[in-house]
Amino acid sequence: MNQEIWSCYLESLRNQIKPGFRVYLEGMTCRNMDAAHWEIALPDRSSLAFVESQLGSTMKSVLQSTLKRFEIAGNADITFTLSGSETFMRNGVLPLRTNVVKLNDVSSYEERRASFSTLPASTSAFHYNDDYSEDNDTIDPFETAGELREMSHLNNRYTFDNFIVGGSNECAICAAKAVATKPADAYNPLFIYGGVGLGKTHLIHAIGNELLDTLSLRVRYMTSEEFTNECIQCMSVGPQKMNEFRVKMRDELDVLLLDDIQFIANKERTQEEFFNTFNYLMSNHKQIVLTSDRPPQELRDIDDRMRSRFCINGWFDIQLPDFETRLAIIHSKASVEGIFLPRDVEQYIATKVATNVRELEGCIKRIKNAAAAHGESISLSLAQRLIDPFYQKPQVLLNVEAIISCVCTYFGISRDELMSACRKKEISYPRKVAMYLARTHTSLSLPAIGSAFERDHTTVMSAVRGIKKDLENDSELQLNVKMIEKKLFDR
């Protein structure tokens, strides 16, 4: 009978919730069912947090209608608990009841956060006593919101709200938001890469802030340099210290945000430690987010096993923002600085400074400070005076099409030939040169260049590698590349 009610309940629920949320139903089990009370278990903390906060009220009303259908009287309530290994968290003796989140108690954010506070303090996990009794009040309360924030090392200035979205970063943002809504699901690990000053650090903090504020998860942000330093320091002190480090990095967090992973290359022991941490977190369904200045397959001196795990599903790049996006960023940053920039000044900066967002911010600050220091109003001439000396040469931003057309003209072949599958040297050689130039003179990622050439990014990668290598000794190739570059830049 109970099985029948449960199946019927799931079926009704399936019709009531968005298709994207149905995945939760598969991991959900009913532990206890009576007329007054159902206990529903979720396989991990992030599902638990999501289900109770997003689906809780629907689940409760579907429960009432299901009970009515089976002519069961009463007003049954639901409690949510964890099932599976996470129930026995950290030291394996977590009393089950402490994971229970009461549906009635979780209507507001404060209460939801408080419901997490019934979880034991991870730091005190090793001092637990085994008492499962209901009135066990020896368990320390879980970290308060303030403590969670402190241990997260997050910068709360970096949020999704103040991150400007444009064509250059929209895929990365979508993925970041997916992770921030439902961690350890679609993209794990999430790998974000891109050039300097383009917003990787901002985005990784935004994910952390969202997870901390909405799901009260234990988030930890660190740069890979910090990871390395801490790891080396603990190693040098001894095994006990190293154990503490492991507990901290593995058991005392739900989400690890590691910025600038490229710095971990070359450091063998740290890499080994990170690889083990990474595997541990992944197998415990904890979210990992990594950033890097290059795509995973271009990370040199990184263990192959690790590189291939980074490439599993979610790697996204952030590119240089286009003119419109730069304008929007300038506008928003100026208002954060509390200044108003006339339209011509905004346009001037967006045209002149096409390197990265950090430099845009620098220019705005420079203008603000100079205007304040001289009591001058902000004008185009003031902006020019301050910015021109730093950006003497107008920056030539090439696009792939310009490169393709220049290469075709230079080698005397048609665009169709260059784009074709022809493997003859007189066609494949210019094609490889064009790919190399696109990689060198645009900020596009390998996949983006690949799609411009209607090819896979691995083809671009091997073409670029090949040309780079040949350039070392092949003087004819050196001359060709130089001549094409001259034509491209002198246009």
**C-beta of 196 vs 396, nearer to Mg ion:** 196
Site for Mg ion in 34-73 (CB under 5 A): none
| Stretch binding Mg ion (CB under 5 A), from 97-105, 180-188, 197-205, 412-420 | 197-205
| Residue span 247-286 as binding mask against Mg ion, x where in contact by CB under 5 A, dash where not | ----------------------------------------
Of the two residues 72 and 336, which places its CB atom closer to ligand ADP in the complex?
Answer: 336
CB of 333 to ligand ADP, least distance (A): 7
Nearer to ligand ADP, 140 or 337 (CB): 337
**Nearer CB in complex with ligand ADP: 102/153:** 153
Residue placing its CB nearer to Mg ion in the complex, 200 or 267: 200
Question: Of these partners, Mg ion, ligand ADP, none, which one is at the site of residue 329 (CB under 5 to 8 Å by kind)?
Answer: ligand ADP
Write out the residues near ligand ADP by the rule CB under 6 A: 158, 162-164, 169, 194, 196-202, 329, 357-358, 361
Stretch binding Mg ion (CB under 5 A), from 151-159, 201-209, 380-388, 459-467: 201-209
Count, residues near Mg ion per rule CB under 5 A:
2
Q: Which does 358 bind (CB under 5 to 8 A by kind): Mg ion, ligand ADP, none?
A: ligand ADP
Q: At its nearest, how many Å lie between ligand ADP and the CB of residue 426? A: 41
State which residue, 189 or 194, has the beta carbon closest to ligand ADP: 194
What minimum distance in Å lies between the beta carbon of 212 and Mg ion? Answer: 19
H/E/C letters for each residue in the chain?
Answer: CHHHHHHHHHHHHHHHCCHHHCHHHHCCEEEEEECCEEEEEECCHHHHHHHHHHHHHHHHHHHHHHHHHCCCCCCCEEEEEECCHHHHCCCCCCCHHHHCEEHHHCCCHHHHHHHHCCCCCHHHHHHCCCCCCCCCCCCCCCCCHHHHHHHHCCCCCCCCCCCCCCCCCHHHHHHHHHHHHCCCCCCCCEEEEECCCCCHHHHHHHHHHHHHHHHCCCEEEEEHHHHHHHHHHHHHHCHHHHHHHHHHHHHCCCEEEEECHHHHCCCHHHHHHHHHHHHHHHHCCCEEEEEECCCHHHCCCCCHHHHHHHCCCEEEEECCCCHHHHHHHHHHHHHHHCCCCCHHHHHHHHHHCCCCHHHHHHHHHHHHHHHHHHCCCCCHHHHHHHHHHHCCCCCCCCCHHHHHHHHHHHHCCCHHHHHCCCCCHHHHHHHHHHHHHHHHHCCCCHHHHHHHCCCCHHHHHHHHHHHHHHHCCCHHHHHHHHHHHHHHHCC
In the complex, the smallest distance separating the C-beta of residue 358 from ligand ADP, rounded to whole angstroms, is: 4
Closest-approach residue to ligand ADP (CB): 199
Please identify, using beta-carbon distances, which residue of 47 and 445 lies nearer to Mg ion: 445
| Nearer of residues 49 and 289 to ligand ADP, judged by Cβ | 289
Give dist(CA 470, CA 428) in Å, integer.
14
Under the binding rule (CB under 5 A), the answer on residue 201 touching Mg ion is yes
Stretch that binds Mg ion, among 61-69, 196-204, 355-363, 381-389 (CB under 5 A): 196-204
Binding segment for Mg ion among 193-201, 293-301, 327-335, 384-392 (CB under 5 A)?
193-201
Q: For residues 298 and 303, which CB has a smaller minimum distance to ligand ADP in the complex?
A: 298
- What, of Mg ion, ligand ADP, none, does residue 163 touch, CB below 5 to 8 Å by kind? ligand ADP
Q: Which of residues 428-447 bind Mg ion (CB under 5 A)?
A: none
Taking a C-beta distance cutoff of 8 angstroms, is the pair 207, 258 a contact?
Answer: no
CB of 178 to ligand ADP, least distance (A): 18
For the CB of residue 189, give the shortest distance to Mg ion in the complex, in Å.
17
In DSSP terms, 96 is beta-bridged to none
The one of Mg ion, ligand ADP, none whose footprint includes residue 156, by CB under 5 to 8 A per kind, is none
Q: In whole angstroms, how close is the CB of 220 to Mg ion at the nearest point?
A: 16
Residue 294 CA: distances (Å) to CA of 41, 165, 425, 447: 40, 21, 30, 12
Which of 59, 104, 103, 55 lies closest to 81, judged by CA? 103
CB 228 within 8 A of CB 263: yes
CB of 439 to ligand ADP, least distance (A): 19
Smaller CB distance to Mg ion: residue 229 or 409?
A: 229
Site residues (vs Mg ion, CB under 5 A): 200-201
